[in-house]
Amino acid sequence: MATRTPDTEARISALLERMTLEEKVSLMAGRDFWTLPAIERLGIPSLRVSDGPTGLRSVNSEAATVFPVGVALAATWNETLVAEVGAAIAREAIAHEVDVLLAPAVNIQRTPLGGRNFETYSEDPRLAAEIATAYVAGVQSEGVGTSLKHYAANNQEHERMTGSSDMSERTLREIYLAVYEPVIRRANPWTVMGAYNKVNGVFACENEFLLEQVLKGEWGYDGVVVSDWGATKTTAEAANHGMDLEMPGPARHFGAKLVEAVRNGDVSQAVVDDHARRLLRLIIRCGLLDGNPKSARGELCSARHRACARDAAGQSMVLLKNEGGLLPVSKNVRRVAVIGQPAYMPAIQGGGSSQVSPDRIVSPLEGLKAALGSDVELIFERGLDHEPAPPQIDWRLLSPDETFTQHGLTARYYAKPGCAGPVAHEEIDWHFSKLGFGGKVQTEDDLSFSVEWTGYFRPEQDGDYDFVISHSNEDVELSIGNEILVGQGTPSERELLFMILPLNRREARMRMQAGRTYPIRIRYSQPTERAIRAFNIFNISMRPPAPSRAAAIAAARAADMVLLFVGSGTTDETEGRDRRSMKLSAGQDDFVREVVAANPGTAVIVNTGAPVEMPWAGDVPAILQMWLPGGEGGSALEDLLSGKVSPSGKLPVTFPHHYEDNPTYPFYPGHKSAEYGEGIFVGYRYYDKAGRDVLFPFGHGLTYSRFEISDLQVSVSPSAQDVEVSLNLTNTGAVEAAETVQLYLEDRATREAMPPRQLKAFRKTSLKPGETARLTFVLVREDFAWFDMHAGAWVVSPGKYAVHAGVSSRDLRQAAEFELHS
Ligand code: BGC
């Protein structure tokens, strides 16, 4: 990893001396959506970026390993593991010839309804910063850059492109900027992405306070600030206030307008030199001036990447409740009812720019079949259609030929519209949710292409099937049997994807017979005039006939135990739209009650990326939060439910009883101004201060074992610069498991309003039964600091403090008091 060294800086200076103003400015905007321009005269190649953070999102919808989403990675509380995930994603990025991964997303989960909460880490800046530091370090250890995003206070999708996040400087610094600073200082992400929103009235991408004063000034950041896609709004303001790179390209506000602004004196040469220097530093860091040595390390969808995704998913799942040790599934159980659509078609990730084309999806049902073995009878019933919108077409009902030995359809790509002429590329395709495709046959000058998918569709139920096609141009045809279901004449509706991309949506319905094999053909043509390179969109969704609720209840009744899957659906948690509600959709709450009434031995498994209300939580013996676990989630469930691995995930976010309990309730969403009226009292900081009961507290998560914390010792160093905390952790249960000890600081010294306790350190430790580990933590001066608005500075109050050690924010087992002198 090339860092900032005198050699690098001298090399950059030499290059800058040879560059014209136009060349320097050309580096400051994309060539297209995903690349920077090359400067061939100087041997500077083009740099390529692509989205994360859930895996590498190929801009051509090619497969990559899907890892658990951000909130799930945070729920592992395991930095070593997250660094391994980062390194694996980097190797996948290299295989896709990507130099900078647009990840991680670290914004604080302020409101439980935030549309992108799944993608980000936590309500707590310390946990989020530790996880992000590990992720960034992991990615960059392989020579791929990261983009810490979205800087800053980008906490809701409502008024996504125009809203202002308004708050006091103390709140901004202690909560929202506190996520970024440690990552910048310790892991130095090679880029930082400026957010769409304003902060205190000024767009983040031209916000002098955020970019110049804090990021580049106070924190000494030497990397590149890139605008979120389309977030650069001005020329001189953005360039003068710290924006280094306008994306996507070609330039709208930089480019010729910026050259002009330099010529007429609105932007100085020195400012442009600084931006260009940072971009050259990035290009060198990515190895592009040195033959791109990282290119040898590419690795895609390998066994070790899948194993890493499985381990991460397993360590992320949170056992919220387990009365009577219902889980793992007992060896005495003979008949298990698996109920709920997510067991068959799980939500593995959220929607939007982070959406990876999976290499495979191991469903919970497949994982459970493996976990339970052939001695146990497994009955599966979908029970209820919980999807708010139709999910992606079920690839298991598709086959390229009538044998159904393979899933998917044959895709034939043509270099011209109209699906005629020679086939330019052929493959078997099964994932029909595409954000950018056709790149294999498009050329630099001709973006037109067409594709025809053919094969067979075999429904499993009698009844009406609803098909929805949404796509970025007009020319689409779907035929099933001999009928053209969607064609030129089918009325289309316009919709906006992620609040920015216009799509056409067409619907059709067909009555079908279970077990019959229908030929299916889909054609899509992309004329060059309307093509966007690598951002053309194509989705086919399908809603099957409603399942039988009565059959599900009967299955529950007849089984020894029930594994009941509930969730938010495969399309409901997405960039571009906040969640409508914290309640489960489609009457799932009533359904849970019905199933539990039929069989009290029911474990509920929750497939969401954010907290949901669980009004039935008191009535069910076991609850497992499985998050959006990536492509290997089913295998992770196999590990946990068979008892091979003990759950060890912990909540990175509080689960309140009711949406109305959360501290942003009186303020969210705001309109053009989102007033952060709860101030620093976000998440558990508020619930603890208000003494409010919650459903499951921050940091909570059970294992299959039991742990004790003992012998807490605190020693303050003579200089009062740091405080050492040590304790014993003992596994007092019967199985090997990992517990995460959490240290919360109580500040009794400061007179200003303070949260009762704040997380300052944590450690996940795996122990065998009867084993004890002595854990030592060091709290440093910054851990005691708060932002004094009168002084305009971070201060440490002299006086009394207490440190609490626990296994959740509300299960504190030991405490010790100490004093800090100034
Ligand atoms: C998202 C970013 C993403 C970018 C490029 C934006 O709409 O907010 O997270 O990196 O698009 O896809």
**Ordered DSSP codes for 278-339:** HHHHHHHHTTTTTT-GGGGG---S-HHHHHHHHHHHHHH-EEEEEGGG--SPPTT--EEEEE
pLDDT tens-place string over residues 651-673: 999 999 999 999 999 999 998 89
Q: How many CB atoms lie within 10 A of CB 340?
A: 31
Q: pTM for the whole thing?
A: 0.98
- Taking the CA of residue 150 as reference, the ligand 1 atom at the shortest distance is 9
Which of 61, 226, 229 has the most ligand 1 atoms within 8 A of CB, as the residue to mutate?
229
Strands (E), 24-158: 49-51, 100-102, 145-151
Which of 117, 151, 227, 353 has the most ligand 1 atoms within 8 A of CB, as the residue to mutate?
353
- Residues with CB under 6 Å of ligand 1 are 51, 102, 149, 228-229, 353
Q: What pLDDT does residue 534 have?
A: 61
Q: Take atom 4 of ligand 1 and give the residue whose Cα is closest.
A: 229
Q: Take atom 6 of ligand 1 and give the residue whose Cα is closest.
A: 229
Q: Take atom 9 of ligand 1 and give the residue whose Cα is closest.
A: 353
In our burial notation (b when 16+ CB lie closer than 10 A, e otherwise), range 351-379 reads bbbbbbbbbebbbbbbbbbbbbeeebebb
Q: What pLDDT does residue 1 have?
A: 42
Residues of the chain with pLDDT under 50: 1-2
Among residues 625, 701, 683, 705, the alpha carbon closest in space to that of 68 is found at: 625
- Taking the CA of residue 105 as reference, the ligand 1 atom at the shortest distance is 9
Q: What pLDDT does residue 530 have?
A: 63
Q: Take atom 11 of ligand 1 and give the residue whose Cα is closest.
A: 229
- From ligand 1's centre to the CA of 591, what distance in Å? 37
Q: What pLDDT does residue 531 have?
A: 61
- Taking the CA of residue 575 as reference, the ligand 1 atom at the shortest distance is 8
CA distance 225 to 217: 13
3-state helix, strand, coil in the chain (%, to 5): 25, 30, 45
Which of 33, 101, 102 has the most ligand 1 atoms within 8 A of CB, as the residue to mutate?
102
- From ligand 1's centre to the CA of 616, what distance in Å? 37
Q: How many CB atoms lie within 10 A of CB 345?
A: 25
- Taking the CA of residue 196 as reference, the ligand 1 atom at the shortest distance is 8
Among all residues, which ones are annotated catalytic? 228
- From ligand 1's centre to the CA of 52, what distance in Å? 9
- Taking the CA of residue 248 as reference, the ligand 1 atom at the shortest distance is 5
Q: Take atom 5 of ligand 1 and give the residue whose Cα is closest.
A: 229
- From ligand 1's centre to the CA of 247, what distance in Å? 10
- From ligand 1's centre to the CA of 354, what distance in Å? 8
- From ligand 1's centre to the CA of 245, what distance in Å? 14
- From ligand 1's centre to the CA of 243, what distance in Å? 16
Which of 225, 228, 533 has the most ligand 1 atoms within 8 A of CB, as the residue to mutate?
228
- From ligand 1's centre to the CA of 146, what distance in Å? 13
Among residues 343, 305, 427, the alpha carbon closest in space to that of 638 is found at: 343
Q: Take atom 3 of ligand 1 and give the residue whose Cα is closest.
A: 353
- Taking the CA of residue 353 as reference, the ligand 1 atom at the shortest distance is 12
CA distance 136 to 187: 6
Q: Take atom 7 of ligand 1 and give the residue whose Cα is closest.
A: 229
State the pairing for strand pair 100-102/49-51.
Answer: parallel
- From ligand 1's centre to the CA of 229, what distance in Å? 6
